Structure 1
Amino acid sequence: MAVFPIINLENINGDGRAKILEQIEDACQNWGFFELVNHGIPHEFLDMVEKMTRDHDKKCMEERFKETVLSKGLEAAQAEVNDMDWESTFFLRHLPESNISQMSDLDEEYKKIMKEFAKKLENLAEELLDLLCENLGLEKGYLKNAFYGSKGPTFGTKVSKYPPCPKPDLIKGLRAHTDAGGIILLFQDDKVGGLQLLKDGDWIDVPPMRHAIVVNLGDQLEVITNGRYKSVMHRVLITQNSGTGRMSIASFYNPGSDAVIYPAPALVEKDEEKKEVYPKFVFEDYMKLYLGVKFQAKEPRFEAMKANANLGPMATA
């Protein structure tokens, strides 16, 4: 069994850079996932984010989720539930405009810490994109510019709780899917596991690690790299006896809604033997399609975007 990639960024600007870049490249090509340690975000700060998130869940989310479960009859389910997830969530938008100040449930201290958290994750996402550019042989900033659109990238955070479940064999915390967007950075529970990715036909656990950030690649990076990097199916399992449940804070650094996404011409030219070229499309159009078929295979989405392409020949700049 291959060992899940855990990458130490501590020496990325020192003499360990070449080795770290090699590890990132291997993870991007063969896993679509990796876990970062020594990523530059202080441990004490992450501890504060975790504590405030758990406090907020207990104060505002827990009871609401119980009412949802009762109203939808999930506790009484006798057969597998395929159209719902056992997940309590809220979403914070950061870019191009933040909605945090409008989130009435969040107290002021939590709003402040989540704004700071978002900025740190945004910086880390952009640093990682430039490391990917270096590995791909693209100029620094290429991927960030590809995501830019007219108003910059879109960036948001999904805060999730997966409470203990009385029938974990009948429902998933989150059904299997690939992520639609760009690069995803996850601060996950360090005690309760459940996140799995599909590799070579097997479901593999993403290990819970204290203060680590899990990174996975979305569909847009697969398109821009013309398939050199691939988004990967992943899911969340839940357990009956997981204490207070599993916490997950996923930040999505995605293209702007009007960004035009297409394979980097330099990569298409480099890979002359590969006849298949991924489609060109506006990110917003891809998202409209994705929302209806999120939990299905990604390949038909790419084919549908190719069939609907009406933007003319691929740009060469």
Structure 2
Amino acid sequence: MLASAEPDDPLVNPTVKELADHNISLPSIYFNYSPAVAETETVLKEEIPTIDISPLRNGTPDERSRVILDIGRACEEWGCFTVVNHGVSESLTTAMVGAFSDFFNLTEEEKKVYTAKDMFAPVCHGTSTNLMGKDVRFWRDFLRVFVYPEFNYPDKPQDFRAISEEYARQTREICNELLKAIWESLELDESFMEGALEPNSIRQNLVGNFYPPCPQPELVLGLPPHSDPCYVTLLTQNKGFNGLQVLHNGKWVVLQLIPDSFLLFAGDILEIMSNGRYKSIVHRVMVNNESTRISVLTPITPSLESFAIAPALKLLASSDSPTKIRGITYKEFLALKFQNKSNSYVMDLVKV
């Protein structure tokens, strides 16, 4: 029989790991999905584009051009693609997933050292999300670490620092290569690429998401439908439940990560800078009652204060109906994003 939390119980405001470990009856605040809704949705198993990015580093000019064309098409038609032949060893990726797993398996007291209400804290552990308001929770714990331009890390587990430092460096290189290719696919010149990607203009996070088995998965979401407030997100996960889904042509598509690959998601800032040509992919996370899913995300974002969020001038000039954009910083954009609970069209957030 499932236990329940009493008012004086230390589990009144638990993490999902505590709920799963103590076999506690699921509080109604987690009930944010229903079988009736599921019956009305179309969920497909389709293959998203898979792109071999090795020619970006060592291919001929023609091979590189073909890859850039494929990347642009995938960003325009899907907003995501699978990345293969990326150069990161499978052993390093496995070690990074394992380090996050070890963190989530620390005691609650050890993890609470990193609990912070400030979303810009260098290292932040928490649970659920506020994407749909404070009275709704989701079946997810997380650890977010800012790793560039300043490198941060939790003190435990002991090997987290060494693994995450190398993983962050290698995935940052991949993201920079992919962003350069994306700018080229938009026919933006080299000076724009250098300005957008110079060290003082970008920030890199590592985010580990933890989704343990849920006793009532038919009533719960791991994360609700949302898009990421970044340029791009690079994602890997453990070999478990395929709970990640993307919205494509009005239908949900289950994503299956093939071995030794990453998923690349286009984010809100890419959509804005491309003047709406490349859409920020809407995605959600489903849960199950059998296995734990751990995902590791690498979002690349602008710096908080020094970057104006707006379409590239060349794309505005070539547009038949250019969008009138107000200049705002990335920090101001985040405030608009999280104040707006309706997930409206991201370009509307920065229009005059």
**TM bucket, shorter chain:** 0.7 to 0.9
Describe how 1:263-302 pairs up with structure 2 within 5 A.
263-271=311-319, 273-293=320-340, 295-299=341-345, 302=347
Structure 2 distance, partners of 1:111, 1:11, is 31
Aligned partner of 1:89 in structure 2 is: 142
CA displacement at 1:230 relative to structure 2: 1.0
CA displacement at 1:232 relative to structure 2: 1.7
Q: 1:215 to 1:87 in 2, by over 3 A?
A: same
1:287 is matched by which residue type in structure 2? L
2:336 is matched by which residue type in structure 1? L
CA displacement at 1:216 relative to structure 2: 0.6
- The question of 1:106 aligning with 2:153 is answered no
CA displacement at 1:145 relative to structure 2: 2.1
Q: 1:196 to 1:282 in 2, by over 3 A?
A: same
Aligned partner of 2:182 in structure 1 is: 132
Q: 1:58 to 1:304 in 2, by over 3 A?
A: closer
- The question of 1:305 aligning with 2:350 is answered yes
Contact residue 226 and residue 278 of structure 1 kept, 8 A: no
Structure 1 distance, partners of 2:168, 2:247, is 28
1:85 is matched by which residue type in structure 2? F
Aligned partner of 2:93 in structure 1 is: 46
2:94 is matched by which residue type in structure 1? D
Which one of the candidate residues 269, 290, 308 is aligned to 1:220? 269
Describe how 1:163-182 pairs up with structure 2 within 5 A.
163-182=212-231
- The question of 1:262 aligning with 2:262 is answered no
Contact residue 223 and residue 279 of structure 1 kept, 8 A: no
Contact residue 147 and residue 254 of structure 1 kept, 8 A: no
Q: Deviations over 1:99-120 (max 9, x none)?
A: 21xx23331x221111111111
Contact residue 178 and residue 298 of structure 1 kept, 8 A: no
Aligned partner of 1:311 in structure 2 is: none
Structure 1 distance, partners of 2:247, 2:51, is 20
Aligned partner of 1:78 in structure 2 is: none
Which one of the candidate residues 38, 50, 70 is aligned to 1:6? 50
Q: 1:304 to 1:4 in 2, by over 3 A?
A: closer
Give the match's secondary structure for 2:351: helix
TM-score (norm 1): 0.81
Which one of the candidate residues 21, 38, 43 is aligned to 2:68? 21
Structure 2 distance, partners of 1:153, 1:292, is 23
Structure 2 distance, partners of 1:116, 1:5, is 28
Give the match's secondary structure for 1:138: coil
Q: 1:6 to 1:279 in 2, by over 3 A?
A: farther
- The question of 1:120 aligning with 2:170 is answered yes
Aligned partner of 2:278 in structure 1 is: 229
Moved more, 140-149 or 201-210: 140-149
CA displacement at 1:37 relative to structure 2: 1.0
Structure 2 distance, partners of 1:117, 1:141, is 28
Structure 1 distance, partners of 2:252, 2:198, is 34
Structure 2 distance, partners of 1:3, 1:223, is 26
Give the match's secondary structure for 1:157: strand
Q: 1:8 to 1:276 in 2, by over 3 A?
A: same
Contact residue 126 and residue 144 of structure 1 kept, 8 A: no
Give the match's secondary structure for 2:219: coil
Among all aligned residue pairs of Structure 1 and Structure 2, give the percentage whose two residues are the same amino acid. Answer: 26
Q: CA RMSD in A?
A: 2.6
CA displacement at 1:278 relative to structure 2: 4.7
Structure 1 stretches of at least 4 aligned residues deviating more than 6 Å after TM superposition: 61-65
Provide structure 1 residue ranges, at least 5 long, that are not aligned to the other structure: 66-73, 75-80, 308-317
Provide structure 2 residue ranges, at least 5 long, that are not aligned to the other structure: 1-43, 113-127, 129-133
Give the match's secondary structure for 1:127: helix
Give the match's secondary structure for 2:217: coil
Q: 1:277 to 1:117 in 2, by over 3 A?
A: same
Structure 2 distance, partners of 1:62, 1:274, is 55
2:168 is matched by which residue type in structure 1? A
